[in-house]
Amino acid sequence: MSQIEIDTIVNWVEGGAPKGDEVYLPPAPHFSAESGAQRGGRELTVTTGAALTLSSPVELSGLRPVRLAAGESLEVTAYQPDGAVERLIWIREWRPAWERTYYFLHPVRLPKGTRIAVYSGKPAEAAMVYSGP
C-alpha cells in the first residue's frame, strides 16, 4: 500500500470508521432459521480423567467446556482406532466470557472405537455436540 492509501485508512478509522452511503454497500447476508438448526444435535459429556470410547461412528459439530474454572485450560483429543490422533479443541486460560459452544467449520467424523480424552488441570467436562446413532 502506498503512504496515501495508508493515511486514508488511518484517517477513516480515527474518524470513527463511518459506514458510508448505503447505496454502495453490498447486500447484507441472510441466514435462515435452518442454518442455526443444522448446528444442533445430541450432546454427550466427557469428564477429565475418564476417557470415552465410541460404540458407533459419530459426526461432531462442536464442543462446549463445562465446569471449567477461570484461568484453566481444556484439551479434548480423539484417538482413532487406526492410530490417528486429532486434537479437537485446546483452550488456554479460559475466561467465563468465552462460555459458548465452539462449532467446527466442518463436522468431524469419528469412527467406532475412537477414544476421546479430556485434559485439564482441575476437574472439568466437555460436552460434545454430535449427530449419529
**Which DSSP string corresponds to 80-122?**
-TTS-EEEEEEESS--GGG-S-EEEEEEEEE-TT-EEEEEESS
Q: For residue 98, is pLDDT > 80? A: yes
Q: For residue 30, is pLDDT > 80? A: no
Q: Measure the CA–CA gap between 59 and 44, rounded to whole angstroms.
A: 12
Confidence of residue 27 (pLDDT cuts 50, 70, 90): confident
Quick one: fold of 3-131?
A: Jelly Rolls (2.60.120)
96 burial type by CB count under 10 A (0-12 exposed, 13-18 middle, 19+ buried): exposed
pLDDT of residue 36: 44
